[in-house]
Structure 1
């Protein structure tokens, strides 16, 4: 009845295949909700990012690529929301807490990102701030 995808699409090159597979396993009339970082400009991206060290592992596509892939699979777009402001607010709060604490917390996602965590987060925030990328929510309904 429901499929969710959270920060995964940036690592999937074949969006058409992704939506076709979701359509295959989702119940008729089911809901597919996703939250992915999407491309808003044609500006080159500076790597690394939290999801990819290099461009060869990053497939950040614009919202229209998701919409087109969804339409090919028979999905109807129910809702779409750009979460750029949400992301900026989130990172401002995180960086303020880190500054107050004198550094990152002892446990956190930065540990999974390894030695390039600071560069990954900085590139992400820089490109969000410039409007090159943004997290986008999309909700689709599968055909009945």
Structure 2
């Protein structure tokens, strides 16, 4: 299977900018300049939402001068949070053209057009020169990529020596198969989880030293259970939420991810690595 083609098929959405423009208006945000918290339910496309982004950022030495590449930038929530909070510049890369256009639209609405940029590109062939960045950032990206060595090797290439690689991903926790669909894949053929040991081994081979490794699984389970309880209490789904972008199947996909975590089939890890 062509990973890039399958990823694009899973995430691509027609008229996404117009859909978001309408949802913002109906939510009462109109032409208001948006903040990271205004969009947190919509554009943080990973377990634990904005909280996971905040925690990952706090584990890193980010300043106004930091040059960041967000690999698999999605709707741009993490990149805009970094730019808004730390004043750094962030370049996002994503396979989905509709997500690139939506992220650019939301950056303009957030007043961050001068700090964040987005372009379509492949994580296995990043459109940047070597040593271009101080920090590479990925949240829930590698699960869609079968060639983990190529992903980590290309990330290492665009980082300067001593630069950091920040990761928040789902990994395999046992040999038991996942319940599908999950947020990143409708079928097993487009999901590529690795174990913690496998991930550590590939990172080391591709030029990284792991400086921090945190299991976030229990926090993730609690977060999903809280979201499920909120949905049951609400008579109507929120207008600015990932389900409005990803469609009706997304609710079951998130329930399945929580179930996979609870049953020990998958786990959540936060890792900080340094280019050696």
Shorter chain as normaliser: what TM range?
over 0.9
How far has the Cα of 1:104 moved from its partner? 3.0
The higher-RCO structure (CA 8 Å, 6+ apart) is 1
Tell me, yes or no, if structure 1 residue 131 matches structure 2 residue 264: yes
CA contact (8 A) 1:15 1:65 kept: no
Aligned residues: 143
Query: Which residue is equivalent to 1:83?
Result: 216
The 2-side partners of 1:32 and 1:16 are apart by 14
Tell me, yes or no, if structure 1 residue 122 matches structure 2 residue 265: no
How far has the Cα of 1:103 moved from its partner? 4.8
The 1-side partners of 2:238 and 2:264 are apart by 28
Please list every run of 5 or more consecutive structure 1 residues that lacks an aligned counterpart in the other structure.
none
Return structure 1 stretches of 4+ with deviation > 4 angstroms.
Answer: none
Query: Which residue is equivalent to 2:244?
Result: 111
Deviations 1:41-81 (A, max 9, x none): 11011211100011111111112222111111121110101
CA contact (8 A) 2:135 2:163 kept: yes
Deviations 1:9-61 (A, max 9, x none): 10011111111111111000110010001110110112111000111111111
Residue 12 and residue 128 in structure 1: after superposition, are their counterparts in 2 closer, same or farther (change >3 A)? Answer: same
Query: Which residue is equivalent to 2:159?
Result: 26
CA contact (8 A) 1:98 1:105 kept: no
Partner of 2:192, secondary structure, is: coil
CA contact (8 A) 1:45 1:127 kept: yes
Partner of 2:194, secondary structure, is: coil
CA contact (8 A) 1:76 1:142 kept: yes
How far has the Cα of 1:114 moved from its partner? 1.4
**Which of the two has higher C-alpha Rg?**
2
Please list every run of 5 or more consecutive structure 2 residues that lacks an aligned counterpart in the other structure.
1-133
